[in-house]
């Protein structure tokens, strides 16, 4: 048995000015052929789970590509084809099954539905190929995705600490179907809800309720998998928003019933999926009164893990203005600043115009650097391995990295975008985050994977950036209408 295993992942923020070209995939993780297998076998990714299942089945494993880039603007057609063509070539050569580690919110220059386009092309080559797919909790599910695979599942955690488990679950469903043990039947639907990522943490309501319903449904006879997707609202495409997919063993009526039950509950909870803002200065003032640290300060509007530029200095400037002390920042993206610090050398005093290198025309903002004077404390190559519960075992490439130490703040400055979901963003450069009074994290929810165990309190700071939760700043043109909260809807 020959099994194709591949990863092709990107969460596209159509409001982001950052280009997702092939170099961006290479900067994060892009491996071809045997290098893909070596990079991801044994990791806590769906790809790792697929490999384990295929080896247990005695299958020949073909891994044409494992590529992922930090979220950003649309993927270039060239980059899309680099990944898709590698997969399609293997399908043309002939395989018995495909296990795909995808995202579900990829928008490319030539298609608003990257995953659906890939799956459709695979089906055109081999209409009967058994295909298993794992998707991110922030997937925007489409007909094209659903029509061109055998069995599909999404993560049940945000931060995504169950990637391996869901990969194994749906991979087993596929292998069982090939052995004639089950007959996967899928039912899906979406609701008129464009929920915000900041309200999708699965440890909290309202998402916790939907996840619990999925877990309970999977205990019912004949239900093989059930997923409630929060969707990714920052992808302005027709099908953006909340959806549900249910896989049963040959029972379409059962799949429909479970789907409708969960969708109805999602709609009932719609108001809870919308974030309420608080003035930035008020939140920083509240933080200043907190004496036990570390206090986690979330610069969520500038979260590169959802496509932000990661160089907006608004929150950092306000924290400095109010005089918070013993602060560490993870991280600011500014390759030019890193180069200046490399030239100056460790121990040197340097004045930098930090950040603010990127304009954000989609939200009407221009980059505004912040002039800071400090000491070059650390210089590294930015490479380390994740030891925490999310992306476990995966090597991180922050690119050339530096730490600028001012009187009351240590700022990690990176050359490649990286969301701080693991404490390694600090420990790799010699900072012990658990002993800091404040940690500014350019993150929304993923920070919980590495930092929740050490944080004594958490505050969201409403700064600027293209991952804003203020819908008034975003111009939607493609999403299906009417949709809540962009429109007032009395009934689903």
What's the whole-model pTM score? 0.96
How far, in Å, CA of 314 to CA of 328, rounded? 15
The domain over range 2-273 is classified in CATH as 3.20.20.70: no
Structure tokens at 21: 């070209």
Structure tokens at 30: 């892009």
Average pLDDT over residues 364-380: 98
Residue 108, pLDDT above cutoff 50:
yes
Is-contact 445 286, C-beta < 8 A?
no
Confidence of residue 491 (pLDDT cuts 50, 70, 90): low
Q: Which pLDDT does position 175 carry in this prediction?
A: 98
* pLDDT tens readout for residues 12-36: 999 999 999 999 999 998 999 999 9
Q: Which pLDDT does position 489 carry in this prediction?
A: 80
Residue 376, pLDDT above cutoff 50:
yes
Residue 440, pLDDT above cutoff 60:
yes
How far, in Å, CA of 420 to CA of 440, rounded? 10
User: At 254, phi and psi to the nearest 5?
Assistant: -65, -45
Confidence of residue 490 (pLDDT cuts 50, 70, 90): low
Confidence of residue 353 (pLDDT cuts 50, 70, 90): very high
How far, in Å, CA of 203 to CA of 68, rounded? 26
Q: Which pLDDT does position 155 carry in this prediction?
A: 98
Residue 55, pLDDT above cutoff 50:
yes
Q: Which pLDDT does position 488 carry in this prediction?
A: 86
- CATH 3.40.50.2300 domain locations along the chain: 2-273
Cα dihedral across residues 358, 362, 366, 367: positive or negative: negative
Closest by alpha carbon to 373, among 335, 330, 344? 344
Residue 414, pLDDT above cutoff 70:
yes
Q: Which pLDDT does position 214 carry in this prediction?
A: 98
Average pLDDT over residues 246-267: 98
Confidence of residue 492 (pLDDT cuts 50, 70, 90): very low
* pLDDT tens readout for residues 156-178: 999 999 999 999 999 999 999 99
Q: Which pLDDT does position 363 carry in this prediction?
A: 96
Average pLDDT over residues 311-335: 98
């Amino acid at each position: 048995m020959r099994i194709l295993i591949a990863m092709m992942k990107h969460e596209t923020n159509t409001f982001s000015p950052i280009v997702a070209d092939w170099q961006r995939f290479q900067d994060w993780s892009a491996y071809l052929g045997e290098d893909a297998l070596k990079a991801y076998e044994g990791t806590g990714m769906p790809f790792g789970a697929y490999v384990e299942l295929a080896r247990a089945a005695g299958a020949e494993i073909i891994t044409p590509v494992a590529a992922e880039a930090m979220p950003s603007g649309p993927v270039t057609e060239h980059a899309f084809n680099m990944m898709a063509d590698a997969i399609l070539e293997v399908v043309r050569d002939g395989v018995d099954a495909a296990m795909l580690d995808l995202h579900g919110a990829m928008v490319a220059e030539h298609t608003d539905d990257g995953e659906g386009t890939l799956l459709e092309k695979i089906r055109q080559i081999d209409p009967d190929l058994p295909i298993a797919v794992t998707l991110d909790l922030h997937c925007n599910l489409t007909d094209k995705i659903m029509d061109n695979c055998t069995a599909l599942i999404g993560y049940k955690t945000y931060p995504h600490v169950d990637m391996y488990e869901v990969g194994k679950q749906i991979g087993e469903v596929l292998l069982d179907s090939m052995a004639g043990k089950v007959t996967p039947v899928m039912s899906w639907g979406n609701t008129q809800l464009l929920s915000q990522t900041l309200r999708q943490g699965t440890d909290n309501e309202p998402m916790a309720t939907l996840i619990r319903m999925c877990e309970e449904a999977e205990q019912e006879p004949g239900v093989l998998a059930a997923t409630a997707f929060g969707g990714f609202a920052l992808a302005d495409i027709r099908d953006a928003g909340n959806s549900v997919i249910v896989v049963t063993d040959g029972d379409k009526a059962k799949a429909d019933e479970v789907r409708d039950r969960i969708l109805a509950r999602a709609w009932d909870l719609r108001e809870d999926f919308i974030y309420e803002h608080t003035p930035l200065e008020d939140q920083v003032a509240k933080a200043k009164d907190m004496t036990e640290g570390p206090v986690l300060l979330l610069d969520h509007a500038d979260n590169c893990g959802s496509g932000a530029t990661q160089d907006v200095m608004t929150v950092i400037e306000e924290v400095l203005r109010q005089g918070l002390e013993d602060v560490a920042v993870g991280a600011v993206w500014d390759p030019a600043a890193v180069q200046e610090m490399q030239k100056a050398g460790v121990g040197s005093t340097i004045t930098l115009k930090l950040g603010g290198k990127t304009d954000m025309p989609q939200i009407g903002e221009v980059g505004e650097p912040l002039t800071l004077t400090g000491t070059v404390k650390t210089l590294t190559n930015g490479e380390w391995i994740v030891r925490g519960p999310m992306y476990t075992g995966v090597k991180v490439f922050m690119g050339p990295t530096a730490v600028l130490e001012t009187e009351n703040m240590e700022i990690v400055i990176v050359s490649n975008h990286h969301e701080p979901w693991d404490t390694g963003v600090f420990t790799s450069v010699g900072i012990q985050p658990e002993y800091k009074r404040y940690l500014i994290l350019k993150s929304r929810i993923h920070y919980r994977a590495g930092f929740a165990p050490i944080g004594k309190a958490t505050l969201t700071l409403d700064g600027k950036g293209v991952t804003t939760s203020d819908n008034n700043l975003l111009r939607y043109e493609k999403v299906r209408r009417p949709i809540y909260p962009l429109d007032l809807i009395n009934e689903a």
